[in-house]
Structure 1
């Protein structure tokens, strides 16, 4: 996972993992996202420590952590607060990151 910068947050598309370092549920969610990135051997998610970005949290009405904040076509399309399973995260990725599932052969 790559730490989100101001420039990255200006992009029209991203999937941002918002967390707090002392949140146990956030650590579990991070583990799931890390496993997905390892399978695809690439950074898929940006990450942000919620406590270091209070204005972003307020402007985007982020209610709690962990949160997977999905921006597509310049707008926040979805905020996922419950990470049920890796399969559930893949279901979300299938909607927003279809290129991960296209065979490049």
Structure 2
């Protein structure tokens, strides 16, 4: 999954597409597990844009978006937060979450 700069993050979030961002810190073990789960799940949704960013580099945005802990998954649409998730739970959970935002309506098994 592509690690974004602050500039790239803002550009992706403000775009007219659905963007899924994973906020993490490098020393967080749970974040590493979450990133692996996202790597698997994102392959099933090529039409969604995925990215990740270290919250240490975007502290003012983390406050603005009220990110309370990491890992944090946020789904943006047209610059607005659609969902904020802290418990990634499982690959199956993420699959069903992203399926709600799948605009191609292609069946996945």
Change (3 A) 1:43 1:95: closer
Spell out the pairing of 1:56-67 with structure 2 (5 A cutoff).
56-67=61-72
Instruction: Report how many residues are paired.
Output: 102
Let me know the Cα RMSD of the aligned residues: 2.1
What are structure 2's unaligned runs of at least 5 residues?
none
TM-score normalized by the length of structure 1: 0.83
Please give the per-residue CA displacement for 1:47-70, whole angstroms capped at 9, x wherever unaligned.
Answer: 111111101101111111001101
Please give the per-residue CA displacement for 1:17-55, whole angstroms capped at 9, x wherever unaligned.
Answer: 111111000000001011123455787411111111101
Which structure has greater helix proportion? 1
- Which residue in 2 is equivalent to 1:84? 89
What are structure 1's unaligned runs of at least 5 residues?
none
- Which residue in 1 is equivalent to 2:3? 3
> Quick one: distance in 1 between partners of 2:59 and 2:94?
25
TM-score normalized by the length of structure 2: 0.80
